[in-house]
Chain A
Amino acid sequence: MKRLINQEPNRVARWLLGLLPFLLLLALYVGASNARLAENPNDKLLPSFDSFGSAIERLAFEPSRRTGEYLFWQDTLSSLQRLGIGVALSASFALAFGVLTGAIPYVRANLSPLMTAVSLVPPMAILPILFIVFGLGELAKVMLIIIGIAPFLCRDLQQRVMEIPDEQLIKAQTLGASSWQIIQRVILPQILPRLITSVRLSLGSAWLFLIAAEAIASTDGLGYRIFLVRRYLSMDVILPYVVWITILAFFIDLLLRLLSRRCFPWFHAQTGNN
Chain B
Amino acid sequence: MSYIKIDKLWKRYGDTVVLEDLNKTVERGEFITIVGASGCGKTTFLKMLLGTESPTGGAILLDGIPLVAEPSEERGIVFQRYSVFPHMTALENVMLSLEFEQSPLLARLFGGARKKARQTAKDMLEAVGLEQALHKYPHELSGGMQQRLAIAQSLIKQPRILLLDEPFGALDPGIRKDMHELVLKLWRELNLTVFMITHDIQEGFYLGTRLWVFDKERIDPHAPEAYGAKITYDLPVGQTDDALLQRIDQSLNQTEQKKETLHHGQ
Residue ranges of A at the interface with B (Cβ–Cβ < 8 Å):
165, 167-168, 170-178, 180-181, 184-186, 189-190, 264-267, 269-270
Contacts and interface: CB of A to CB of B under 8 A. Distances in A.
A174 B76 contact: yes
Given A168-B82, A181-B107, A174 B77 contact: yes
B82 A177 contact: no
A165 B86 CA distance: 11
Main secondary structure of the interface of A (DSSP, over half): helix
B87 A170 contact: no
Contact of A174 (B101, B140, B154): B154
A178 B105 CA distance: 10
Interface stretch (B66-74, B203-211, B222-230, B233-241): B66-74
A181 B79 CA distance: 21
21 contacts: A168-B82, A170-B50, A171-B79, A171-B153, A171-B154, A172-B100, A173-B72, A174-B50, A174-B72, A175-B73, A175-B154, A177-B97, A177-B107, A178-B100, A180-B105, A185-B108, A190-B87, A267-B87, A269-B139, A269-B140, A270-B139
Contacts of A177: 97, 100, 107
B40 interface: no
Nearest to B162: A174
A170 B52 contact: yes
Contacts of A174: 50, 71-73, 75-77, 154, 157, 159
Contact of A176 (B73, B105, B106, B140): B73
Contacts of A172: 85, 96, 100
Contacts of B81: 165, 167
Contacts of B82: 165, 167-168
B71 A265 contact: no
B137 interface: yes
Interface string B132-152: 000001111000000000100
Contacts of A185: 96, 99-100, 107-108
Contacts, number: 86
A190 B70 contact: no
Contacts of A178: 100, 104
A55 to B, nearest CB: 49
Contacts of B159: 174
B30 to A, nearest CB: 20
Contacts of B77: 170-171, 174
Nearest to B77: A174
Interface of B: 50, 52, 70-73, 75-77, 79, 81-87, 96-97, 99-101, 104-108, 137-140, 150, 153-154, 157, 159
A245 to B, nearest CB: 35
A175 B87 contact: no
Contacts of B52: 170
Given A181-B100, A266-B139, A176 B79 contact: no
Given A170-B71, A174-B77, 18 more contacts: A165-B81, A165-B82, A170-B50, A171-B85, A173-B72, A174-B73, A174-B157, A175-B153, A177-B100, A180-B107, A181-B100, A181-B107, A184-B106, A185-B100, A189-B87, A266-B86, A266-B137, A269-B140
Contacts of A176: 72-73, 97, 100-101, 157
Contacts of B137: 265-266, 269
Nearest to A265: B137
B100 A190 contact: no
A168 B81 CA distance: 10
A92 to B, nearest CB: 20
Contact of A167 (B83, B101, B108): B83
Contacts of B50: 170, 174
Given A176-B97, A265-B137, A269-B137, A171 B104 contact: no
A143 B44 CA distance: 50
B171 to A, nearest CB: 17
A169 to B, nearest CB: 9
B249 to A, nearest CB: 30
Contacts of B138: 266
A167 B73 CA distance: 15
A190 B71 contact: no
Given A165-B82, A168-B82, A170-B52, A175 B100 contact: yes
Contacts of B84: 171
Contacts of A266: 86-87, 137-139
Given A174-B77, A174-B154, A266-B139, A190 B86 contact: yes
- Rank and list the top 4 A-B pairs by shortest CB-CB distance, nearest first: A175-B97, A173-B71, A167-B82, A165-B82
